[in-house]
Amino acid sequence: MRIREHWEKAYRSNAADELGWYSPHLRTSIDWIKQLGLSADSTIIDVGGGASTLVDDLLDAGYRSITVLDISNKALLTVQERLGEKSDLVSWLSEDITTAGLPCREYELWHDRAVFHFLIESHDRDAYRQNLLRALKLNGHVIIGTFAPEAPPKCSGLPVRRYGEQQLVDELGPEFALVNHVKDLHVSPGGVEQVYQFCQFRRIA
């Protein structure tokens, strides 16, 4: 099954709050974003946002230049329906991050919880990194969350690559400086424990 079809089926077959990666609020992400001191009109992209509530919390915090990208159109429609009229304040991209044509030097913050770890093939990780380098402004910020080494080897039936902070440093490359890192225990709606590795970077070159 192709990757887009996999995720469309996942979102068609389950309510958003039944999916394994669902969390009522992405506390680590929200706390780190608030600490950055971004202005209300700072450009933010949530890569693989799915049906996450991050966009809800960002809007409630006053941010007004948000883009949500996900490979599943069904996931994006779910969030748009949840937000109602507020969805008009958000830009929506139904794209694969490895092939999306993102604008050059557009974003001040790149957020990704649980996309990068699905990129098993090196060419997909290279394509992700090239899009990151293209789209993120100099001195922009990256917050990325992946399965940690002690997390399960699969998610949503797909294999994942698990990372510690040094492995994520190596993957992103010398253009990014590690600012913060923490492990975060997520318990899925089904009771499965999944340890995430969160890292925060600043683009320095």
Specify whether the backbone of 105 is left (phi greater than 0), alpha (psi in -120 to 50) or beta.
Answer: left
Q: Regarding beta strands 158-159 and 154-155, do their DSSP bridges make them parallel or antiparallel, or are they unpaired?
A: antiparallel
Helices and strands, number each (H, E), in the chain: 6, 9
DSSP 8-state code for residue 53: S
pLDDT by 10s per residue, the chain, length 205: 589 999 999 899 888 788 877 888 999 999 999 999 999 999 999 999 988 999 999 999 999 999 999 999 999 999 999 999 999 999 999 999 999 999 999 999 999 999 999 999 999 999 999 999 999 999 999 999 999 999 999 999 999 999 999 999 999 999 999 999 999 999 988 888 999 999 999 999 9
CATH number for region 3-14+25-190+197-203? 3.40.50.150
Q: Which residues pair with 107 in a beta bridge?
A: 136
User: Distance between CA atoms of 149 and 158, rounded to whole angstroms?
Assistant: 16
- Cα dihedral sign, 156-162-164-167: negative
Q: Are 57 and 26 in contact (CB under 8 A)?
A: yes
Specify whether the backbone of 120 is left (phi greater than 0), alpha (psi in -120 to 50) or beta.
Answer: alpha
- Structure confidence at residue 153 (pLDDT): 96
9-50 confidence digits (pLDDT tens): 989 988 878 887 788 899 999 999 999 999 999 999 999 998
